[in-house]
Amino acid sequence: MDPGSDGTTKLMASKYEKILLKNMEQPGYTGSLQDYEKAGGYQALRKVLGGIPPDEVIDIVKRSGLRGRGGAGFPTGVKWGFIPKDHPGPRFLCCNADESEPGTFKDRQLMERDPHQVLEGMIITCYAIRASLAYIYIRGEFRLAAKILERAIREARAAGYLGSRILGSELDVQIHVHAGAGAYICGEETALLESLEGKRGLPRFKPPFPATHGLYQKPTVVNNVETLANIPHIIMRGAEWYASIGSPPKSTGTRVFCLSGHVKRPGNYELPMGTTFRELIFEHGGGMRGEKPLKAFIPGGASAPFLTPDHLDVKMDFESVAMAGSMLGSGGVTVMEEGTSMVWAALRLMEFFYHESCGKCTPCREGSSWLVQILQRIWQGEGRMSDLDLLVDLCKNIEGRTVCAFGDAEVAPILSTLRYWRSEYEELIARAEASRSSKKELPVVA
């Protein structure tokens, strides 16, 4: 743990008000409809149906400053506002529950422990964008979460919160759970839509965007689980309340950060946006698990560039992390101690990205294989100094040249480790070259 000025340790895990994790931390809370209603659940839905027009709901979300919690951080209310108001046909809402970013596990907890919070957010969103059909696209491995959501949907329908004429109003909403096949690329919203339509999960070219040509080429909003779970609280307590939390005006509210790696207390921590990495790791996470000091951390899931101990006082908000040269992404913070090889870390992540590449774009499809081969060669003691320039050249020819952001994501671990720990690559290669040189100098035995 991080010692204070007086030598005492600081533990401040409860000094902030929780929003999304509050219910599930209450003793005996099961996530059932009865428990959720006792905690004030579905009152936000009653409030909007009691007289808040759909456009005003969108305006409330805009003024709250809520931004997408899936990774991109796009303003939620603005995204809703892109849905054409004069579209005569169906509109759709898709809840992106394909939580596949390594080091990220918050959405799974929200679905398993408080499913009605997610459902209420979805119903209100459907009301705001005038959609009557919504899908939860859930990662195939999340079988327990899918089962819990199905049960919650049945409970909500029986209680009149789902179906036709919800709570006696004119609102009709149906929600269905659709399990994917465990493809990382389906976390990208257009690949998710392709998969939901029964096609192979490949990202679409944009424009057009899902707001006008989404599911079945109809206007569609795609929001992440955590994003939607915030909606009932914003409606109940107001845009100004939510906008006052965090780092206004651009990074408001709380965020559920997933802390893992070489820390004493890994887990999900809900903290205001703008909290520092130092506080998350050393106060809430208890500090390093052993005697070794911190060497590196990933601030936003595997697709975010690595940061160093010099970045511990960077605020965990979209702007500050971007200024530090990385991104907040999915909020998955992975901590690594001294002694961890950065070459090995980059290789392990690159192997993941190579396995998960959908193959649509040539730079990503061919480049990821090449990058893995070079990193394996260096790690196995067969590298050459020219490999370092080759790695950078390959990364630059992938970055910004793919249909989706996957290409940028896969090169982030390599470029960032080369930036901060290039000497580790050079040491491995120098040993390999010295070994090859010594073998050449061995005398030939007749």
Determine the average pLDDT of the residues in 352-381: 94
Alpha carbon distance 330, 277 (integer Å): 15
Report the SS3 class of residue 416: helix
- Judge if 222 and 356 occupy the same domain: no
**Contact of 268 with 105, CB cutoff 8 Å:** yes
pLDDT value at 443 more than 80: no
User: Which of 206, 226, 244 is the endpoint of a domain?
Assistant: 244
Q: Could you give phi then psi for residue 98, rounded to 5 degrees?
A: -90, 65
Contacts of 190 (CB under 8 A, 6+ apart): 203, 204, 206, 210, 404
379 located within any domain: yes
Mean per-residue pLDDT, 189-196: 96
Q: What are 226-235's pLDDT values in tens digits? A: 999 999 999 9
Q: Is the pLDDT of residue 113 over 80?
A: yes
Output 15 or 65, whichever has higher pLDDT.
Answer: 65
Task: Classify residue 4 by burial, with Cβ atoms within 10 Å: 0-12, 13-18, 19+.
Answer: exposed
Name 174's Cβ contacts closer than 8 Å, sequence gap at least 6.
132, 133, 134, 162, 163
Which domain covers residue 416, as residue numbers? 342-434
Would you state the pLDDT for residue 2? 40
Does position 332 have pLDDT exceeding 70, yes or no?
yes
Question: Which of 255, 210, 254, 224 shows the shortest CA–CA distance to 118?
Answer: 224
Sheet holding 220-224, edge to edge: 174-179, 133-138, 92-97, 220-224
The answer to whether position 86 is within a domain reads yes
Residues 170 and 229 in one domain: yes
Tokens 């422990």 belong to which residue? 113
Q: pLDDT confidence of 442, banded at 50, 70, 90?
A: low
Q: Which residues of 87-105 are buried (b: 16+ CB within 10 A; e: fewer)?
A: eeeebbbbbbbbbbbbbbb
Quickly list DSSP for 255-301. EEEEEEESBSS-EEEEEETT-BHHIIIIIIS-SBSSSSPEEEEESSS
Residue 315 burial (10 A CB sphere; 0-12, 13-18, 19+): buried
Query: Comparing 1-15, 93-107, 212-226, which segment has the lowest mean pLDDT?
Result: 1-15
- At 57, the amino acid letter reads V
Identify whether residues 226 and 309 lie together within a single domain: no
pLDDT at 190 over 60: yes
Instruction: Indicate if 36 and 176 belong to the same structural domain.
Output: yes
C-alpha closest to that of 214 among 138, 130, 206: 206
Domain total of the chain: 3
Q: How many CB atoms lie within 10 A of CB 12?
A: 11
Q: Is 45 exposed, middle or buried (0-12, 13-18, 19+ CB in 10 A)?
A: buried
Mean pLDDT of the chain: 93
Identify whether 1 is part of a domain: no
d(C-alpha 219, C-alpha 85), whole Å? 10
Q: Are residues 91 and 168 in the same domain?
A: yes
Give the pLDDT score at 12.
Answer: 41
Do both 385 and 261 map to the same domain? no
Q: pLDDT-based confidence at 3, cuts 50/70/90? A: very low
User: Can you tell me the mean pLDDT for 400-412?
Assistant: 93
- Contact between residue 64 and residue 186 where contact means Cβ atoms under 8 Å apart: no
The half-sphere exposure of 263 on its side-chain side, counting CA atoms within 13 A, is: 26
Which tens digits make up the pLDDT trace of 147-186?
A: 999 999 999 999 999 999 999 999 999 999 999 998 999 9
**What is the Cα–Cα distance from 300 to 259, expressed in whole angstroms?**
10
Q: Where are the beta strands (DSSP E) in 139-275?
A: 174-179, 220-224, 246-247, 251-252, 254-261, 267-272
* 108 and 213 housed in the same domain: yes
CB atoms within 10 A of CB 423: 10
Residues 162 and 30 both lie in one domain: yes
For the segment 246-272, the average pLDDT, to the nearest whole number, is 95
Q: What is the CATH number of the domain that holds 104?
A: 3.40.50.11540
In the predicted model, is pLDDT for residue 103 greater than 60?
Answer: yes
Q: Does any domain span residue 357?
A: yes
- What integer pLDDT is reported at residue 445 of this predicted model? 55
Q: Tell me: the pLDDT tens digits for 288-301?
A: 998 899 999 999 99
Q: Are residues 266 and 188 in the same domain?
A: no
- Give the CATH number for residue 313: 3.10.20.600
User: Percentage of residues in the chain with pLDDT exceeding 90?
Assistant: 89
Residue 92 confidence (pLDDT) above 70: yes
DSSP letter (8 states) at residue 167: G
Average pLDDT over residues 197-203: 95
Together in a domain, 158 and 219: yes
Q: Which residue has the higher pLDDT, 20 or 432?
A: 20
The verdict on 239 and 255 lying in the same domain is no
**Alpha carbon 73 to chain centroid distance?**
10
What 3-state DSSP class applies to 399?
Answer: coil
Strands 294-298 vs 332-337: parallel, antiparallel or unpaired = antiparallel
Q: Does residue 14 belong to any structural domain of this protein?
A: no
Higher pLDDT, residue 295 or 89: 295
Q: Which of 337, 360, 385 is the last residue of a domain?
A: 337
Three-class DSSP category at 246: strand
Which of 337, 366, 398 is where one domain is finished?
Answer: 337
Q: Which two tokens stand for residue 372?
A: 């893995």
CATH number for the domain harbouring residue 408: 1.20.1440.230
The DSSP secondary-structure symbol of 114 reads -
Assigned domain for 11 exists: no
Helices then strands, each counted (H, E), the chain: 17, 10
Q: How does residue 409 score in pLDDT terms, banded at 50, 70 and 90?
A: very high
Residue 328 lies in a domain: yes
- Report the range of poorest mean pLDDT among 81-90, 230-239, 280-289: 81-90
Is the domain of 151 the same as that of 59? yes
Sign for the CA dihedral angle at 120, 121, 122, 125 comes to positive
Nearest to 80 by CA among 98, 93, 69: 93
pLDDT band at 14 (very low <50, low <70, confident <90, very high): low
Nearest alpha-carbon partner for 270 in 6, 4, 10, 17: 17
Residue 130 within any structural domain of the chain: yes
